[in-house]
Chain A
């Protein structure tokens, strides 16, 4: 009886239904919590580019107080809706956008405001690119002069631990702080990691940082990622700084952009 084909098929079918049902049930039950965690993680990353977060910080509260977000396209124009649906910067999956042609991508911008006022302290821009083994991504925070790096965070999917994965370490990310993304004649040059690692930050100019010994390909990935994405954001950045320079000063309201 236990070996008959009918029994085997019936047993398998019932087992499949029970196990499948269990999984579906748990997936739906845990979904709200998981979405919350994903959103929290994004907020942590965005804020991490401009400030140090402590374990005890109420991240959603800080985020909603300090961050104002919008979405722009490759021409630097603000995008409010796509196909009739409103666009929310936090919901944009930069990794998914990365697979589409650059002209069609949407670029979220997160504006970090000083405490208690609408003055913009920093512009936080997501970046995305290819590392050695898998994708790398991060957030670049620019000072409100739109030329100086205020802070940077990187993350990765599968870089080599101890080598390329060091892009997630604080001391590597610190190297970018204070670097300029425009050169003297106003050309966008981004910031490059050099080949090799000296451990001496004083020998590098304002567009270069110490490299990653043993992880040149990851470092090149970081360079390309920064150059590409700062390039994509360039129209937007120049539009904002153009407005700032033409006398409106950079206290402009977010809706002006």
Chain B
């Protein structure tokens, strides 16, 4: 049972209560979405925000943390309610839970990270429509226990996070010649590093995302059928 190798988009077999907190199967819940089943590069979900927020690293980091938070808690809540949710209204229940969490994130950002909030509020609102979140609820949380759902959410969230952070790293490096706002090229003694305007626009994100997918698929041998 713990050797399940299928894609995790189906309800998983019920686990024994004695299963280790980080059994092989549960580790896979986290590690699969990081690479082999990455929500952005393999499932091609959540592209919109990956293109929009990744001009600089620090807002991207906040966006990544917000998405991880929303996925994990939405997964947990839906999983806890999975035996109570009437089938006919499950999508709207999922939406209501996601929207509530996203609004909470937005309010907290406004109160404690105002500058980032100003920049991100539009995109934070759009987490509601981020297909990754709803996809995990529908595909996993509705059919699995809370703990597994948390792990699954964490995996998908981190899979999303590292990709957008990687894209943001290159975009900020070549577009603004800095990393987390630190002018690295000036520190390295290279004055007047020619910044690339393309990297500042969403087109740059497309190109970098394409390159990441290329490298990743070369390594994993994944082919779309």
Contacts and interface: CB of A to CB of B under 8 A. Distances in A.
A225 B82 CA distance: 55
Given A19-B96, A162-B197, A162-B201, A33 B86 contact: no
Contact of B104 (A8, A26, A161): A26
Contacts, number: 58
A30 B96 contact: no
- B: contact size bracket: 20 to 34
Given A19-B100, A22-B100, A162-B197, A11 B86 contact: yes
Interface in B65-98: 84-89, 92-93, 96-97
B108 interface: yes
Nearest to A27: B107
Main secondary structure of the interface of A (DSSP, over half): helix
B116 to A, nearest CB: 11
A8 B86 contact: yes
B108 A30 contact: yes
Interface of chain B, main secondary structure? helix
Interface string A1-26: 01100011001100110010011001
Contact of A19 (B85, B97, B197): B97
26 contacts: A11-B85, A11-B89, A11-B93, A15-B93, A15-B96, A19-B96, A22-B100, A23-B100, A23-B103, A23-B104, A26-B103, A26-B107, A27-B107, A30-B108, A30-B110, A30-B111, A33-B111, A33-B112, A34-B110, A34-B111, A37-B114, A40-B114, A41-B114, A41-B115, A161-B55, A161-B201
